Structure formats: structure tokens, C-alpha cells
Amino acid sequence: MQLMKATRRDFIKTGAAGLAAVVTTGPASLATASAAEKALPRKSIGIQVGAVSFVDEGTEKVLDLFEERGAIDTIYLTTFTYGRGLAGRQIPGHAFPDHGSPESDEKTFYGGNYATPHAEFYRDTVLKQTRAPDHGDLDIVATVLPAAKKRGMRVFCSIEDVFRNDIPGVRDVTEVDLRGRRAGGLCLCHPEVRAFWTGLATDLCKSYDIDGILFFNERNGPLLNALGASHAQSIASSRVTCFCEHHQRAAKERGIDFERARQGYQKLDQFIQAALKGERPSDGYFVEFWRLLVEWPEIIAWDRLFDAAKHQVLAEVNAAVKRVRPGLRVGFHIEHVNSFNPIFRATRSYAELATKADFLKVVVYNNCGGERYANFIRNVGSTVFRDVPKEELLRFNNRLLNYGEEAKLDDLAAAGLSPDYVFRETQRALAGVQGKCKIYPGIDIGIPTGAKSRKASPDDTYAAVAAALKAGADGLILSRKYSEMQLANLAAAGRAVRDAAKG
């Protein structure tokens, strides 16, 4: 760690030449590196990719492209998810990239575990049947791992907390919302859900010679969900979770009054619904919101309880992996809302996350970031901050977040966020973890956006990668999935990595 810190300082002094000392572009160039370069830690240049790409294009061909175009040495192989953000071909309604099959897999996509689940690891959970049926008997980890290893590439299994409601057993472990209805997500306090995650991580690490796990969990707590304070969600303040028996028990252990929490969220629901209709409280929207928090501190306590369960799962996954082999590495995907939303930021301490992970994939997606950030401002600007003109709210929020000059609200989706945003958010993460874990910014390569929103160009991709490396990132993760990336953009990322190495 001392070495990396010194290197970052050197980079500030010497510019790109300093960076050249620590960046190599993969196994091939390592072979030709000088002795001094070999002694320095290698940057990890990774890409997220799902099974379908290897099926459609062939394993060796995909790995060739990764090495040659993207300067990639690390594969984040989507191994468990029911979501289309990490798995499947391009999502419906968006243009296909210039590789892979141009046919939609909307009708055949199902999701699940793309490796082979071994029953002994799932004894303590009802979630026993999660094998993905999409590609027959194919085991994607068994297929890709030997081919990647032969090239000296690292392989991490990506596992994501996204389920569907027709999986055997899933209805027994879903969350309960404010009105007592079963919700779609799985309760992170439920012992059988926790046992599933540790079982899955243990299974993958014991059954395959992988380098570790990258865990994706983008779930927000009830406060943010009530406010619609993310970029993607609708404002459904009566549907917040989780009020199940396991959460009630956990609350009791912490001395949180369940009934008061429920009543607090009912009051919050009333406030949000009235705000959405423009029914202004006599003291103003923000004051009324703050008063709710003061009078019902259980609102915050319940939100903290949700986060505690989520972070407990992260810690348990980390511990399970380390029990298999201490040298295996665990990373967490840190969701985009952590970048946009100061309320969410306050609940995520990088220093604390660094105690549970070997690396953090910090989302700094800048192209789709414009559209997402604008959505977030419009969401919070329709309730808690409704008294503030949205353009002013954006400027104010930029200051809170230490963003630089970004586009105006109406132009933000088309403009995207700047490479400077990537630089600042990378630096913030590095400063937060203080060298206690690695920071691999997630770089946006062709993440689908609305019709009039920015689409990644090769120049955008080059600039974002260069900014992350200039900020001192320990590596990168090209995101979200290879099956939505144009090859010219992948090549631009590779060029930026190689140029940084050259200095």
C-alpha cells in the first residue's frame, strides 16, 4: 500500500510518465517489462461479460478481442443473476453493437446460475434450484476459466442480487412492504437468503479455480425508495420495505420500535403523495420533511436497519470466500446513486466498505450519468426540494457533491457527465479508502440510454478511461456488459490504457 501511495504522489509530480511506471497492459507486456516494472503492482483492467457473448461469438475469439482491443487482463464473468443489466444480449429497444448475434433474446432469456450449482452448498436455503436454463448444460465458468487462465487472465465470478418471482422457493423469502404486501426483492435479513449468498459464493470458490467474487447489490433502503431518491425508480412511497418478521426481530434487538417505524413511514408516504400533487405544507416542503425526521427518528433508524442487513450480507460473503482460501479476492459494486445523492452518500462510508472488501467497483458511468443524474434531480425536486427551481437545485447539488462544471438540467441527458466527473469520483473513492482496498472505477461503455440521451463515442470512452487512470485508479472495470459495447469503444478504452502505460 505504501508503494501505491508513493506512486500516486509521484504521478502528481511527474504527470503521465509516473503513471507509465505502474500501468502495464496485460500478461503479454509484463513479459517484456523491465525488472523495475515487474516489481510494481500491475493494474487490473477488467471487463464485465455474460455467458451469451461466449456462446454467440466463441470463447477464444472473445478473449482475443478483449486482449487485443481492450488491453484487458481480468474477466468479470456474469455467473449469477436474473437481470439483463449484466446478462443476456442487448436489452430490447436498443441498437445492437457490431458483434455477436443481432437477434433479441428477450423471449429465451431466463437467468440464474450460469455455472453448475452443487447441492451441498444450498442445504440451508429454500433457493436450491437456480440453474440458468438459457444455454442448456453449458457451465460458463468451466468453459471460460481454462481458456482465460492459459492467457494469464484473472477470472472473477459476478453475482448479482436480482431475482424473478417464478423461482422455486422465492416467494417464501421475499420482502414485506409498508402495507403488509409481499414485495419483489428478497429480504436481506432472512436467514435463508443470507445462507443462499454465502452458499453461492462458497460453491463458486470451492468448485472452480477462480480469483474471487464481484458482488452486485443495488438495493436501496426504505427512505430513499420512499423519496424516489435514485435515478431509475418511480416514487412508490407506500411500497417501501422491509417490514417482515425477521426485520421486526432485528429491530427489537436494536431497540427500534417497529410500530413507530411503520407509523413514521405512513406519515412519510402521506407527505410524499401530497408533495407530488403540489400540496405545499404551510412551512414549505423541506421543513415539513425535516420535521418528519425529527418527530419520527424511527424513519432513519429503519433505513439504517435495512443497510445493516445489506452490509451484513456483504461481510458474510467476504468471510465465506476467505474461508475457502484467504488469497481469494472479494469486490463490491458500488451503485450509481452513491455518486448522485448526498443523502445516500452519507450512508456509505468508503472507509467502512474497505474493511469488507479487497476492491470496490465504484460506478462512474459518465455517458448515461447525465440522464440518470437529471432523473434524480427531477425526482427529489418533485417532493422534498419542490420549493427550489430544478436548475438551482442541480447547481446546489453539484456543489454538495464536488462536481465541476456540468451541463444544465435540460441539456444534461444529451451532454452526459464529463470526464472530470470520472476523475473527481475516482479521487473521492481513493481518498475514502485510504489504501485499505483497491478502487476500480466502473467505466460506461455503451450503457443504453434514452433516444435523445448521449451515446458513448470512442472519444468519450478514451477520455473517461484516461481520467480514471489519471486520478490514480488501481484498475478499471469496463461496464456493464460486453454484449452492449461497440468494438470501436472497447478499442478506445484499450488505447487509453496503453497510452497511459507509455506515458
> Which spans of this chain sit near Zn ion (rule: CB under 5 A)?
187, 189, 242, 244, 246-247
Place of cell 420495505: 241
In terms of CB distance, is 178 or 242 closer to Zn ion?
242
In terms of CB distance, is 8 or 246 closer to Zn ion?
246
**Rounded least distance, CB 320 to Zn ion, Å:** 21
**Rounded least distance, CB 313 to Zn ion, Å:** 12
Residue 158 CA to residue 99 CA, distance in Å, equals 22
In terms of CB distance, is 247 or 454 closer to Zn ion?
247
In terms of CB distance, is 219 or 495 closer to Zn ion?
219
Do 334 and 353 contact (CB within 8 A), yes or no?
Answer: yes
In terms of CB distance, is 189 or 491 closer to Zn ion?
189
**Rounded least distance, CB 354 to Zn ion, Å:** 27
How far does Cα 159 stand from its chain's mean position?
A: 11
Each as own residue / partner, the long-range contacts of residues 301-305 (CB below 8 Å, 24 or more positions apart, any chain) are: 301/251, 301/254, 301/256, 301/261, 302/221, 302/222, 302/223, 302/251, 302/256, 302/261, 302/264, 302/265, 303/221, 303/222, 303/223, 303/224, 303/347, 304/221, 304/347, 305/247, 305/250, 305/251, 305/254, 305/256
**Rounded least distance, CB 174 to Zn ion, Å:** 9
In terms of CB distance, is 10 or 316 closer to Zn ion?
316
**Rounded least distance, CB 247 to Zn ion, Å:** 4
In terms of CB distance, is 242 or 328 closer to Zn ion?
242
Residue 194 CA to residue 34 CA, distance in Å, equals 46
Residue 126: how many other CB atoms lie within 10 Å = 18
**Rounded least distance, CB 480 to Zn ion, Å:** 28
**Rounded least distance, CB 188 to Zn ion, Å:** 7
In terms of CB distance, is 242 or 272 closer to Zn ion?
242
Q: Rounded to the nearest 5°, which phi and psi values hold at 441?
A: -60, 140
Contact residues for 53 (Cβ-Cβ < 8 A; gap 6+): 62, 100, 481, 482, 483
**Rounded least distance, CB 244 to Zn ion, Å:** 3
**Rounded least distance, CB 322 to Zn ion, Å:** 27
Do 494 and 500 contact (CB within 8 A), yes or no?
Answer: no
Pick the closest to residue 362 from 328, 340, 339 (CA basis): 339
The full 3-state SS of 357-426, as one line of letters, equals: CCEEEEECCCHHHHHHHHHHHHHHCCCCCCCCCHHHHHHHHHHHHCCCCCCCHHHHHHHCCCHHHHHHHH
In terms of CB distance, is 189 or 388 closer to Zn ion?
189
Could you give the C-alpha distances from 118 to 82, 196, 210, 427, in angstroms and in order? 19, 12, 16, 41
In terms of CB distance, is 62 or 187 closer to Zn ion?
187
Residue 167 CA to residue 188 CA, distance in Å, equals 17
**Rounded least distance, CB 295 to Zn ion, Å:** 25
